[in-house]
Every structure is written in structure tokens, then in C-alpha cells.
Chains A and B, each alone.
Chain A
Amino acid sequence: MTMAIVSAKGVSKWYGNVIGLNNFNMEVRSGITGIVGPNGAGKSTFFKLLVGTIRANMGEMLVMGKSPWKNPSQLRGIGFCPDYEYLPADLTGVEFLNLAGGLHGLSGQRLASRTAEVLRMVEMTDARDRRMGGYSKGMKQRMKIAGAILHDPKLLLLDEPLSGTDPVVRKELIDMIKALNKDHGHDIIVSSHVLFEVERMTHEVALLYKGRAVATGDISEIRGLMSNHPHHIVIEGQGLVGLAKSLLDRPFTVSVHLWPDRSGLTAEVSRPDELFDSMPSLISETGCQVDSMRSLDDDLESLFKYLAGW
């Protein structure tokens, strides 16, 4: 078992009455780790604590064994790509990297060769002399990543790097992030509010919800939790009384609520896939007519609520 590069124990952070992280516990090891959660889950707060721009109100946050708050030397080993726009619009890409490199103590030939190398890595060599105000969203994301890896950090923090990009750019960025880990050896923590995007980069995932890590580990374990997540399925049609009775005999059914006008029913099931698989036989057995079927809570928000026990 490798040493944790990030360790959070009982970390809480609040902004006035708003809670960013709430008794947050997590360990991150080498490789790529995905942080998934809806907006407001605490992903950005987590990253800001890691780079020491804010401090925890309670608990202990360690990055490579040291607290990041008021510890600037720690930042030699960390590259940070935030989720917000901060690139100076009137600078060219190469001017921005020269300024960023200067802040990290790079200069002269070393800076020039590293800048050229990083521009190649993010495939921005052709746009190096263009002003960044004219860059597309995908180019800006690449340049932000270039600024984060310029000083060759051990740990790379990418906060929502895919947000606002089109599918083609998203695929290119995902490939690039995987290559940064595989070919260049950076450990990466990457956040997103879309689980399948993170899944394409890594199998090591943490789900955040309302400031807590509600599930961490291999994606297959989390998929298991998801499949056990009770779903409310609404079925509308005619002759549904027989269907309701048959559903109650099935092991995956938790409860069935038949609407007073018999035009529909709401079934709570523990394994929705089994319900969907058995629907053709259920319809044929009971002779009912199904006009529509939909899940009331087939989204990440309801999964997070379930995992958080709310």
C-alpha cells in the first residue's frame, strides 16, 4: 500500500453560515483520483484547502505529509488548475507561461525549454503567440493546465477541467490528463460533477455530497452501491391492478403504490435493472397496457442523498 499523498481527517470548513466541508475524511493515493459531486458539494473548497488559500476551521488536512496553510514551499510540489477563469486576456500564451515560470523560480534557458515542452504536452505550440483573450474555452483549459504543470509538480489538482467544453475537446482533455499521469508521472486529483467523465480517467473515485465524502474507492464498488440504490419508478397505463399484485411478489420490489384512479402506479425497487428486465414478462402475464415508464430519482443527486443516508 503506497503512502497517502493527501490525508483529510475530520476537516470542516464553513463560510459564515454556509458549510463547505463537514467533518470530511479522505485519503488519496498515487495515480489519478476523481472527485465527483454536484454543485456545492465542497469540491472547490477541498482544492483550496489543498493549496492553502483557505484554512480549515476544524480537523487536519495534510498534503504529502505537511499542512498546506502558510506553507508556500509545499507549493513547489503542487500544480493547481482552478475551475474559474483567471488568465490575463491581454497576454499571449507564452508570456503567461513566462510570468508563471518566473513566480516558480524558473528563468533563462531552463524556462524557455520547459515552456516549449509544456506547450507541446498540452498541444498549444501553434497558439503560443496569440493573446489569450481570443482563446476558445478548450484552449484556455489547456493553457491553465500548462501553467499548473510548468514547474513539474508531483501532485496536479484539476478542478472541473472539462466544464464548458464540447465533446471533442472533452475527449482530448481526458486523453491528455491520462497521459499526464501515465507518461509524465504526475499524481492527479480531478473533479467533475459527471461520474462517467471521471470514470473515463480513473477507477479511483470519491463521491462528495454536502461537504462529506459519502463513498470512496474503486468505481466498481461505487457502481455496486448505485445498483442497490432504491429507485421510484412510475408506470402509467391501463389494467395496472394485476401488474401491481405481480410486482409485490418480486424480490426486488420494496413497495407499490397504486394511484386512486388506477391510471398509474409508483413502485419502489431495490434493483431497477431487474424491474426493467422483467417488464416484458410482467406485461404478458398480467395483460396490462403500459403507456410510459420513468424513474423519479435516476440522477446523481438522489444517489448522493441515498449514500449520505438522508
Chain B
Amino acid sequence: MVRYSSRKLLLNRRWILVVLVAALVGAVMLYTANEGEGTLDQGSTLLNTLVLSFMLPILSLIYGASMIRNEIDDRSITQVVTSPLDRRASYLGYYLSLGMVLAIMLFLIGLVGWACFFLPAGVNSEALEMLLSYSFLLVLGSFVYSSLFLAMGVVLKQPIYLGLLYAFVWEGFVGQLPGAIGKMTIIYYLKVIGAELIPYGNITDFSNGVGVAAVVLLGLTAVLLFAGAWAFREKELP
């Protein structure tokens, strides 16, 4: 199941979009490194703003919300739902392949940005540690957002609209507001964990509490996975 859906994701022509996005991130970071000081703080802020806070939720939405929904709409889901697999297991297969493909894509985008920023001036161990830390956050974020947007694609007929609203307004705008409201977003908890790992740039603005953040993200992912798998099992596919 994982192989089946991973292959479908990788064959998708949206790869072109990902390459363009990676090129854009690389160009912005290269330009900033050439025009600015090329410090660790600056590099971290750019990776946080461009990749972690923006690309992660948007790519997760584009791939996650459409994964099962597109198969329902073009009826290629027939192949999966008429095979002798429990639909909950099939859903888990979709989730794992989505999370893995997203994690690889976002890692590559982050790597391109990081390389464009740090390679020209020479790489040190702090820069390498930063790459590893952001990569970890992107992998973690991929699996959390996947659980949300995949479930949305099962439950909603037009998940992209609510997904865009959520990604831009809730995660993008509300997540930046001071006070307790910001804690209602996934990106907040990712940044709390990031602040523990990365001592550079604007990600350090987030207060400590890495244990709570990990539990919240893990719990949320589990709940969303369970709800999505249940909805998929109960869903009629006329």
C-alpha cells in the first residue's frame, strides 16, 4: 500500500512545482547571503520563515488534501477499496507514504536553501547542526500536517478551500499573534521544539516547554489519524 501510493505521489507532475519552489527558496537565500552578512542568525530566520512556516503547511496541504480526494474523484480509489485490505490499514499506508514523500521534498527544499546560503561563505559545524535541526523539524512537521490534511481530504468534498483558509489564516496569521491564541496552531509547537534545538534567529523567540510541545503534536497526530481512518472506513464510495 505504501509503495503503491508513494509511487502515485512521486509520478505526479506537481514535482515541477516543488522544483520551482526549491529554486525560489535557493535564489532568495543566495541573494540574502550575498547582500547581507550571511550570519547563522540570518540563515536560521530565513529557513524558519520560508521553509518551516510557509512551505511546510502549504506543500502538506497541496499533497495531503488531494491525495485520497483525487482518487475518490477520478475513481482510481476502486483499486484500493476493492482489495482485501482493511480500509484503516489502507489509510495508514496513505498516511505513511504522504508523510515520507513530504519529508523528503521538504528536506530537499531546506537543503537547497541552506546550501545556497551557507556554502558560498564556507560551512562550519554550527551551520551543519542547524541543517540537521531544521531537517528534523521538517520531517516531524510533515507527519503532523499530513495527518490533518489527509483527514480533511476524506471528510470534505472540497478540502482545498478550508485547507487554504487554515494554512494561511490560522497557521500563518493566528500563529503569529501573541498570547494563548498562538498556541492553538501546529506551527507554534514545532517552533517551541525548534527553539530548544536551534539557538539562532527568530525561532529562539518561542518559550521553552519542549516536552509539552512533543506530547501535543504526538497526541494531535494520533487523534487525527484515528479520526481519518475511521471516516475512511465508514465512507461510502458510490
Set of chain A residues within 8 Å of B8, measured between Cβ atoms:
88
A242 within 8 A of B: no
Q: How far is the CA of A51 from the CA of B79 in the complex (A)?
A: 11
Assess the B1–A103 pair: CB atoms within 8 A: yes
Assess the A82–B78 pair: CB atoms within 8 A: yes
Set of chain A residues within 8 Å of B81, measured between Cβ atoms:
51, 53
Assess the B82–A80 pair: CB atoms within 8 A: yes
Instruction: Identify A53's interface contact among B7, B11, B84, B238, CB under 8 A.
Output: B238
Chain B residue nearest in CB terms to A70: B233
A73 within 8 A of B: yes
How many chain A residues touch B (CB < 8 A): the figure is 28
Assess the A88–B84 pair: CB atoms within 8 A: no
Q: Kindly identify, within residues 55 to 113 of chain A, every residue whose CB is under 8 Å from any CB belonging to chain B.
A: 55, 70, 72-76, 78, 80, 82, 84-86, 88, 90, 99-100, 102-105
**Given A72-B85, A75-B84; A84-B75 close (CB under 8 Å):** yes
B31 within 8 A of A: no
Q: How far is the CA of A15 from the CA of B82 in the complex (A)?
A: 21
Set of chain B residues within 8 Å of A90, measured between Cβ atoms:
11
A272 within 8 A of B: no
Q: How far is the CA of A99 from the CA of B5 in the complex (A)?
A: 10
Assess the B79–A103 pair: CB atoms within 8 A: yes
Q: How far is the CA of A105 from the CA of B4 in the complex (A)?
A: 12
Assess the A103–B85 pair: CB atoms within 8 A: yes
Q: How far is the CA of A147 from the CA of B80 in the complex (A)?
A: 12
A154 within 8 A of B: no
B35 within 8 A of A: no
- Whole-angstrom distance from the CB of B94 to the nearest CB of chain A? 12
Set of chain A residues within 8 Å of B78, measured between Cβ atoms:
53, 80, 82, 86
- Whole-angstrom distance from the CB of B8 to the nearest CB of chain A? 7
A256 within 8 A of B: no
**Given A99-B4, A103-B4, A103-B83; A53-B233 close (CB under 8 Å):** no
Bitwise interface map of B from 56 to 76 toward A, beta carbon under 8 Å scored 1, else 0: 000000000000000000111
A48 within 8 A of B: yes
Instruction: Identify A100's interface contact among B79, B87, B233, CB under 8 A.
Output: B79
Assess the A53–B82 pair: CB atoms within 8 A: yes
Chain A residue nearest in CB terms to B71: A86
Q: How far is the CA of A83 from the CA of B12 in the complex (A)?
A: 25
Assess the A54–B74 pair: CB atoms within 8 A: no
- Whole-angstrom distance from the CB of A287 to the nearest CB of chain B? 61
- Whole-angstrom distance from the CB of A71 to the nearest CB of chain B? 9
- Whole-angstrom distance from the CB of B71 to the nearest CB of chain A? 9
Q: Kindly identify, within residues 142 to 196 of chain B, every residue whose CB is under 8 Å from any CB belonging to chain A.
A: none
Chain A residue nearest in CB terms to B7: A99
Assess the B3–A86 pair: CB atoms within 8 A: no
Q: How far is the CA of A53 from the CA of B84 in the complex (A)?
A: 12
Q: How far is the CA of A99 from the CA of B4 in the complex (A)?
A: 6
Chain A residue nearest in CB terms to B3: A102
- Whole-angstrom distance from the CB of A222 to the nearest CB of chain B? 29
Q: How far is the CA of A62 from the CA of B237 in the complex (A)?
A: 19
Assess the B79–A53 pair: CB atoms within 8 A: no
Set of chain A residues within 8 Å of B7, measured between Cβ atoms:
99
Instruction: Identify B75's interface contact among A45, A78, A86, A102, CB under 8 A.
Output: A86
Chain B residue nearest in CB terms to A104: B83
Assess the A88–B85 pair: CB atoms within 8 A: no
Q: How far is the CA of A48 from the CA of B74 in the complex (A)?
A: 16
Instruction: Identify B238's interface contact among A54, A70, A75, A103, CB under 8 A.
Output: A54
Set of chain A residues within 8 Å of B85, measured between Cβ atoms:
72, 103
Assess the A73–B76 pair: CB atoms within 8 A: no
Chain B residue nearest in CB terms to A95: B7
Chain B residue nearest in CB terms to A148: B82
Set of chain B residues within 8 Å of A53, measured between Cβ atoms:
78, 81-82, 236-238
Set of chain A residues within 8 Å of B80, measured between Cβ atoms:
103
- Whole-angstrom distance from the CB of B204 to the nearest CB of chain A? 46
- Whole-angstrom distance from the CB of B34 to the nearest CB of chain A? 41
Give the B-binding residues of A (Cβ under 8 A): 15, 45, 48, 51, 53-55, 70, 72-76, 78, 80, 82, 84-86, 88, 90, 99-100, 102-105, 147
Beyond A54-B238, A86-B78, A147-B79, 13 extra complex contacts between A and B, CB < 8 Å: A48-B237, A48-B238, A51-B81, A53-B78, A53-B237, A70-B233, A72-B86, A85-B75, A86-B74, A90-B11, A102-B1, A103-B4, A103-B85
Pairs A-B, 6 closest by C-beta atoms? A103-B83, A75-B84, A53-B237, A54-B236, A76-B84, A86-B75
- What would be 9 A-B contacts, judged by CB atoms less than 8 Å apart? A72-B86, A72-B87, A86-B75, A86-B79, A99-B3, A99-B4, A99-B7, A100-B79, A103-B1
